Structure 1
C-alpha cells in the first residue's frame, strides 16, 4: 500500500533519543511522513534535471522551456506525496477534490520553494532569469525571499507541508471552477489538529519551548510571503496552467 502509515520503517536518527514528548504512534507517523516525502517528491528527477542541464553548453542551460517543464513536473511530484496520504484517502471524494483545489497552490509552492532551496537552483543565474519570465519578476523575488527565510530544519518544513495540505483555507485569489465548501469538514479538522500538534511536539522535542515559539513565528511570516508570491504569480498564465495541470492529473488519479 502506498500510504504514509501503512507500515513501520526504520526509525530515523532524529527519532532515536528521548521520545517522552511524543507517543510511539506520533513518532511512527513522523518517521513515515518524512520517508514518504523523500520517496515520492521527485528528488531523483531534480538531480537528473540538474545533471542534464550541466551537460549542455553554458548558453543553452536552464532555458525558459526546460525550466517551465521542470516546475510543472516538480509541482506534480510534490502533490503526489499528499494524494497517497491515508488521512487524505479517508475523506469523501468531494472533500478530497475540494481540499485539493483549495490547497494545491500552497502545497506545490511551498514544496517547490523547499526543493529549489535544497538544490540551490536560484544560485544559477539562468535558472532564476527563466523563473522570472515564467512567474513574473515580482513573484520570483518574493520566492527568493521565502527560500532565504525558510527554516533550515527540513523535517519541520515537511511537517508544515502536511499541515498546509489539510488546511481549510479561503483563497486570496479568485480561481474559476474552484470548489468552495466541504460536505464533512468535521472529518478534516481533526487531521489538521493532529499534524499541527505533531509539528509543535517535534519542535519542543528538538529545540525546547522558547526556540519552538521563535521557529513557528518565523514560519508564519514565511507563509504570508508565500501568499504574496502566489498573488503575484497569478499574473502569469504559465503559473495558472501549471496549477490546472496538477489539479487535472490529481483528479484523474483520485477517480481510479
Structure 2
C-alpha cells in the first residue's frame, strides 16, 4: 500500500509544470510544488515522521471504534441517505459505479489549480498576462485530463488493447471537447479577458464564440456532465469523421463488449436521473445533455 512507502518513493506530480505559486492560501492546491518549496527552504527529509505498520493499524482501529460509538449515538439518517433509505431503482452495484465514476474524475481534478492560475494572471500588468503560448499550454492541460479519467475505469482495462486504441481514436475529440468546455466553465475562463484575448489571437473569433455558446448551454449539474463524458468515451464511435481504414473499425465481438459497457453506464445514469428529477425531469435533463453533445458535433464540423 502507498501509505507504507517512504517519502522518497512517493511521486508527486504538478499539473502546471512546477510553476505553482505556493502561499498560505494556495498551499493545499499542489502537493508537489508545496513539497518542493519546503525542501528549498531547508526542510530535512530525514526528520519526516514515518509511520510503522503497527502504528497505522492501531490508529485505524481507534478510528473504527470511535466511528462505531458515534454511529450508536446518532439517530437513523433521513430519507436523503442514498443506501440506507434508498427509494431509487438503482442497485448497490449501480450506486458503486456512480460513486466510482465521480471519484475517478475528481482524483485528478485540476479545476482549483486552473482557476487560481487564471486569477493570478489577471492580477499581473497587461504585458505580463497570458500570452499565446500559455493559452496553448492551458488547452493541452485540459485535453490531457480525459485519458487518465478513462483509464481509471476498470471496464476500460477489460477491453483488448486494440479496442482501447479505437475508442480513444474515435471518441477523444468529442469527449475531450465536452470535458474542456466543462472545465472552462467551472474555472470561469470565458469570463477572463486576458484568456479570451490570447485565445482569439490563436484560434479566431468564431472558435471563441462557439465555445462561449456551448458553455452557456451546458448542463449546470457537473456530476451529470462527468458521467456523460464517460458514456461518450465508451461509444463505438461518436466522431464526425468516418474512418477510412480498417484499423479504426471494431470487430463484432469488440463492438458488443463496448455496447455492453455503455448500456450499463446509460442504465445507471437514467435511473439516477429519475431518482433525482422524476421521470419528466429526467427526460428533459437527458434531452438537454444529448443536445449539448450534438451542439459540440455541429460546432466541430463547422470549424473544420
Measured against the shorter chain, the TM-score band is: 0.7 to 0.9
CA distance in structure 2 between the partners assigned to 1:142 and 1:116 by the alignment: 13
CA distance in structure 1 between the partners assigned to 2:102 and 2:89 by the alignment: 18
Query: Which residue of the partner structure matches residue 99 of structure 1?
Result: 167
Please, what TM-score do these two structures have when normalized by structure 2?
A: 0.67
Distance 1:227-1:132 versus aligned 2 partners, 3 A rule:
farther
1:35: how far off?
1.2
Query: Which residue of the partner structure matches residue 229 of structure 1?
Result: 299
Please, what TM-score do these two structures have when normalized by structure 1?
A: 0.79
Contact 1:138 1:232 in 2 (8 A): no
CA distance in structure 2 between the partners assigned to 1:135 and 1:225 by the alignment: 19
Higher relative CO (Cα under 8 Å, sequence separation at least 6) belongs to 1
Query: Which residue of the partner structure matches residue 108 of structure 2?
Result: 40
Contact 1:102 1:178 in 2 (8 A): no
1:138: how far off?
1.8
State yes or no: 1:58 paired with 2:130.
Answer: no
Residue segments in structure 1 that go unaligned for 5+ positions in a row: 2-12, 235-256
1:200-225 deviation line (CA, Å, top 9, x unaligned): 11110110011111111122221111
Residue segments in structure 2 that go unaligned for 5+ positions in a row: 2-79
SS at the partner of 1:208? Answer: helix
1:44: how far off?
4.6
State yes or no: 1:154 paired with 2:222.
Answer: yes
CA distance in structure 2 between the partners assigned to 1:186 and 1:35 by the alignment: 27
Q: Which has the larger radius of gyration?
A: 2
Contact 2:111 2:187 in 1 (8 A): no
Query: Which residue of the partner structure matches residue 238 of structure 1?
Result: none
Work out the number of aligned pairs and report it: 223
Contact 1:21 1:201 in 2 (8 A): yes
Query: Which residue of the partner structure matches residue 34 of structure 2?
Result: none
1:210 to 280, 292, 299: 280
5 Å-filtered alignment, 1:1-256, equals: 15=82, 18-169=86-237, 171-173=239-241, 179-183=247-251, 184-234=254-304
1:55-98 deviation line (CA, Å, top 9, x unaligned): 52234322211011110112102321112211111110100001
After TM superposition, what 4+ stretches of structure 1 lie above 3 angstroms from structure 2? 13-17, 133-136, 173-179
CA distance in structure 1 between the partners assigned to 2:104 and 2:246 by the alignment: 28
Distance 1:28-1:86 versus aligned 2 partners, 3 A rule:
same
Tell which deviates more after alignment, 113-122 or 130-139.
130-139
Query: Which residue of the partner structure matches residue 246 of structure 1?
Result: none
1:169: how far off?
1.9
Query: Cα RMSD between the aligned structures?
Result: 2.4
Distance 1:150-1:76 versus aligned 2 partners, 3 A rule:
same
